[in-house]
Amino acid sequence: MADEPKVASDLFDRHLSEWVELAAGPSVDLCLFLVEAGAVVAPGPFLSTAGCFAPLLRAAGHPLADDAVAAAVTGTVAVAAGPDGRLRATDLELVDKVALVIDGSRLAVVDASAVEARPVKTLDLARSMSFVTVPDALDLEPIEEAALTDASERAALAVAAELVGVARWLVDATVAYVKERVQFGVPIGSFQAVQHRLVDFALGYEEAAAAVSYAAMCVDADDPDRARAVHVAKARAGAAARRAAKDAMQLHGGIGYTYEHDLHLRLHRAYADDALFGTGAWHLDQLADLLFV
């Protein structure tokens, strides 16, 4: 993926495309699938299509929504992220369409090949990011604030589910490793200091998993608590995955610092996903606004 992103296309075409239809079903089901996708750091346009593009088109009532759900067309969403206001999109070179959200109120769906994109180097070796330049002539349609909010919450929830999968893999892999790594004649997992760290980041994973499950149920029920639940889920999942990545790398010792170990794939995905669709700090700020304003 780092050298040639399109190697992921075959995996999507032969297998992952069969599951894009989860985007039209309960969020709980999609999140269960994305947890597993996160655990294996699945490359390709599944998250961008099923977690972002299809939900946005469905919320907006766009004519391509059914094709997106059926994986007849893949897509990603370009939104303004950060103080510079520039549009950013993931996996742009792997999809057919890109949904451009302009000024938070207008939508245009164009061919991915029709937009000018500049790749951005990120931590995640299995997911690309690009700055997108809006074409001069666009067929813009208004999008209701409620529809955009719904799609944004679903996208943040999808990334949070991926983060839970990443954290789970890191917990499982580290627990297995400290049982096998011997130092001073005993497994390092027998040391109390190691056990305390394992318990702490395992608890972080459990909290994140519960938060994502609750948020998914709130979204499915259109519960009044859904906005708060999604903000909590994304913030907790990001914090749990980052903590697990840091502790897992240190507890793996020297092998944890090498690219030869698969741990680095999860470390990169944890930190990159934490920033995708709002950092944990941003989501906590939104949560504070809901609670105290």
The predicted model gives 111-126 an average pLDDT of 88
Contact yes or no for 73/53 (Cβ under 8 A)? no
Cα→Cα distances 14→9, 18, 44, 70, Å: 9, 8, 12, 14
E strand or H helix at 251: helix 226-251
Do 134 and 16 share a domain, yes or no?
A: yes
Helix (H, G, I), strand (E, B) or coil at 152: helix
**Lowest mean pLDDT segment, chosen from 110-119, 134-143, 203-212:** 134-143
Say whether both 194 and 247 belong to one domain: yes
One domain, residues 220 and 179? yes
Instruction: Tell whether 159 and 75 lie within a shared domain.
Output: no
Q: Within a 10 A sphere around the Cβ of 288, how many other Cβ atoms?
A: 11
Does the pTM exceed 0.85? yes
- 95 lies in the same domain as 166: no
Residues 44 and 86 in one domain: yes
Write down which residue in 126, 144, 162 finishes a domain. Answer: 144
The share of the chain scoring above pLDDT 70, in percent, equals: 98
pLDDT single digits (tens) 64-74: 999 999 999 99
Q: Label residue 283 by pLDDT band (50, 70, 90).
A: very high
- Of all residues in the chain, what percent carry a pLDDT higher than 90? 76
Return the closest-CA partner of residue 101 out of 61, 64, 151: 151
End-of-domain residue from the set 144, 175, 198: 144
Q: How many domains does the chain have?
A: 2
Looking at 144, 178, 197, the residue that finishes a domain is 144
Domain residue limits at 242: 146-292
Does 155 share its domain with 277?
Answer: yes
pLDDT, tens digit, 9 for 90 and up, residues 176-193 = 999 999 999 999 999 999
